[in-house]
Amino acid sequence: MATAVNGGVPLLSSQAYLESTAVKETRGLVSELCRQFYTLGWVSGTGGSITIKVHEDSIVKRQQLIVMSPSGVQKERMVPEDMYVLSASGEILCTPVKKPYPHRPPKCTDCAPLFMKAYEMRDAGAVIHSHGLESCLVTMLHPFSREFRITHMEMIKGIKGHGYHDELVIPIIENTAHEGELTESLAKAIEDYPKATAVLVRNHGVYVWGDSWINAKTQAECYHYLFEAALKLHNLGLDWSTPLHGSIHNSKGYEYTNRQQAGSVKAQLQNRNPVPEPSRHCIILDIEGTTTPISFVTDVLFPYARDNVRKHLTATYDSAETQDDIKLIRAQVKDDLEKRVPGSVPIPSEDSGKDDIIKCLVANVEAMIKADRKVTALKQLQGHIWRTGFENKELQGVVFDDVPEALGKWQATGIKVYIYSSGSREAQRLLFGNTAHGDLRKYLCGFFDTTIGNKRESRSYSEIYQSVGVDKPSQILFLTDVYEEAVAAKAAGLEVIISVRPGNGPLPDNHGFTTVTSFTEV
């Protein structure tokens, strides 16, 4: 055992600890996985890399040592002695012995600064960098897209925080001539996509991280499966990003499912009789007053959250999820107090009594609900409270009767449908997943909430345009009942229709937008 300090915690930089069983086993594990990944085609030609933290129960993860594979070494021939050992801050503590010609002098992986970002920003236990061909090719399907999206595939369940019905979104960053130059863009992607456990590098490969080496390996296998599935579906002319994986509409606006159909369309184009390009490739739907009566939100959902917030906070106070909710509420209240927002009251410090903290949290949440605040902190907490209501069958989602038929029609014609609401994405999924018409999530490609931006700001719609895989913002139709949202979306270049439903607020005179009273008119 290594030299110990502080009641048995090993001195990590000591030679004794560097030669300990835990470090040796981790070195051996990295070399074993490199050989396995070589057979999968993930680390051929000395490309790709892997790093794992040295697990010790007595050492917090952020202080654990790091083992990394070297650069420029045949991965299938690696041995434990080839590995580098680094401190938690990235300082090299142990370097491999130089080998005779034709081996190169030892060098730590060029991925090291990128690996460190995953450790620092995600508290990862292991990171895998793969050059698997499918992870490279999948970034070329849409050369200008900044994201890879896929939904309704069983293996999505293997990705942390995702289920079968969810849309898996992986950011794509642009490649550079040297690996280390990717560090800044990788860090930005990690920051911008807090739910992601992978980042694709265009024409290059993928970085995948997990809480442990097992979790990272499992997710990497699932990601590669999903990349390969997308490529094969693309070859069949099928859309991997929609729930039913129907035929792809290509950039000229026609469908193709096999070579014969593609040839037929080519002949039409040569005869100067092209199929007209559809004006809408994507529809974005608001919820309140558009798909769902305002009364359901104001008379059912809001009162349920208000009446159950104290019970929810008390029952789940010590959970990581609720502590995260409280952290967001604290930040929002701090900002509200500085701006003197009516109804906001100071929240006691974290070391105060639980009952006192909950009392002030409830007061702030009730004030936010009463004022119909569209802030992420409130919407996230409400979503978690509503989840309990849906699980206990105390709540059931409500949509207008024309909505399910329209969703099915749009999907059948290849139009992607998304939701954009001030309610959290979890709340959106709960509403559409538990309706009297059944689970409507099968018709939806994804969900956006205010984490992408305020609904009355045009840049929010520009961000959505960049995310849904269309060539022009005018190919997106946005349906809302709120005039200010319509103005913002139009400013971003989207087509806009205003929904006029029972109970909706009045519109300005001469507002200039097309209106509908039912989705059957769209």
Catalytic residues: 154
Residue 504 and residue 485 in contact, taking contact as beta carbons nearer than 8 Å? no
- Look at residues 477, 482, 478 and name the one whose alpha carbon lies nearest to residue 501: 482
174 known member of a binding site:
no
Give the gyration radius of the chain's Cα atoms.
Answer: 26
Which helix or strand (DSSP H or E) is residue 36 part of? helix 21-39
455 known member of a binding site:
yes
Length reported for the chain: 522
Reduced to 3 states (helix: H, G, I; strand: E, B; else coil), residue 126 is strand
481 known member of a binding site:
yes
Residue 469 and residue 239 in contact, taking contact as beta carbons nearer than 8 Å? no
Which helix or strand (DSSP H or E) is residue 26 part of? helix 21-39
421 known member of a binding site:
yes
449 known member of a binding site:
no
336 known member of a binding site:
no
Q: Where are the alpha helices (DSSP H) in 193-301?
A: 213-235, 259-270, 294-296
Reduced to 3 states (helix: H, G, I; strand: E, B; else coil), residue 104 is coil
Q: In what order do the strands lie in the sheet with 416-420?
A: 446-448, 416-420, 282-285, 476-480, 495-499, 514-516
241 known member of a binding site:
no
Within the chain, how many helices (H) and strands (E) appear? 16, 19
Query: Could you tell me the two tokens for 266?
Result: 């080519």
Report the distance separating Cα 463 and Cα 446, nearest Å: 14
Tell which phi-psi region holds residue 514, choosing left (phi > 0), alpha (psi between -120 and 50) or beta.
beta
Which residue shows structure tokens 């550079």? 176
Report the distance separating Cα 327 and Cα 380, nearest Å: 11
Is the peptide bond prior to 105 cis by the omega test (within 30 degrees of 0)?
no
- How far is residue 352 CA from its own chain's centroid? 34
Report the distance separating Cα 243 and Cα 355, nearest Å: 45
- Look at residues 65, 71, 81, 72 and name the one whose alpha carbon lies nearest to residue 31: 81
| 3-state DSSP of 323-368 | HHHHHHHHHHHHHHHHCCCCCCCCCCCCCCCHHHHHHHHHHHHHHH
355 known member of a binding site:
no
SS3 content of the chain, % helix, strand, coil (to 5): 45, 15, 40
> From the annotation, which residues make up the binding site for substrate?
111, 421-422, 455
List residues forming the annotated binding site for Zn(2+).
129, 131, 204
Annotated binding site for Mg(2+): 286, 288, 481
Residue numbering of the annotated binding site:
111, 129, 131, 204, 286, 288, 421-422, 455, 481
